[in-house]
Amino acid sequence: MSETALPAQANPTLEAEITAALGARSIVLVGMMGAGKSTIGRRLAARLHLPFSDADTEIEAAASMSIPDIFETHGEAYFRNGEARVIARLLDNGPAVIATGGGAFMREETRDRIREKAISIWLRADAEIIMRRVRRRADRPLLQTENPEATVSRLLEQREPVYQNADLTIASRDVPHDRIVDECLAALGVRLCGTRVAIQETIDQTTDGFSATP
């Protein structure tokens, strides 16, 4: 299915109300590696007819280097500074849906900017799901350790209390992507448009997507 096609659950009213309420603000996805920020972000952007940006891809383009090469050549501190600059630039060009790298929200300055210019969603995933997903790829420098499981546990311990500061939290799990996207849209509807649209969304869902209203 093309990313711009409307899935069965699409609720144009909810989606239009969310984009109207956002104005110039963006939606920023935060959370651990493997939480699905890019996958869900891309689909969420398509549903809202907003541009999608992946901060990691933007950093690689700005540096003309892959993330593992940036870490190896310049070190993590250099990467983090570039990451903060790239996210600041993306936030200045909203509205968009922005997927951030797993460590970006740990920087206070970036959290403050996100709070000012966006609505943040924490895609919360447990250690088991993260491990299952990150094992497939070797492009995460922080996980090139003797014991990646222990590294993920330690990072979760450090990061979850900070991720909790996101405006919204959605559980990332092994269900169809569109279900997670629908949950993001419902949570955004409540947050940005109040309960009216969210209640309509519930009615639409309980009537198999056929709205009772004209």
- Is residue 58 near ligand S3P by the rule CB under 6 A? no
Which window, 96-104, 175-183, 189-197, 202-210, contacts ligand S3P (CB under 6 A)?
96-104
- Is residue 103 near ligand S3P by the rule CB under 6 A? yes
Assign 213 to helix, strand or coil: coil
Partners of 147 in the β-ladder? none
Angle separating helix axes 12-22 and 195-206, nearest 10 degrees = 160
Which window, 6-14, 21-29, 139-147, 205-213, contacts ligand S3P (CB under 6 A)?
139-147
Residue type, 149: E
Beta carbon of residue 141, minimum distance to ligand S3P (angstroms, whole number): 5
The residue among 95 and 103 lying less far from ligand S3P, judged by its C-beta, is 103
Work out the number of other CB atoms within 10 angstroms of the CB of residue 159.
18
Three-state SS letters, 88-144: HHHHHCCCCEEECCCCHHHCHHHHHHHHHHEEEEEEECCHHHHHHHHCCCCCCHHHC
Q: Binder to ligand S3P among 17, 56, 58, 204 (CB under 6 A)?
A: 56
- Is residue 140 near ligand S3P by the rule CB under 6 A? yes
Site residues (vs ligand S3P, CB under 6 A): 33, 37, 56, 67, 101-103, 140-142
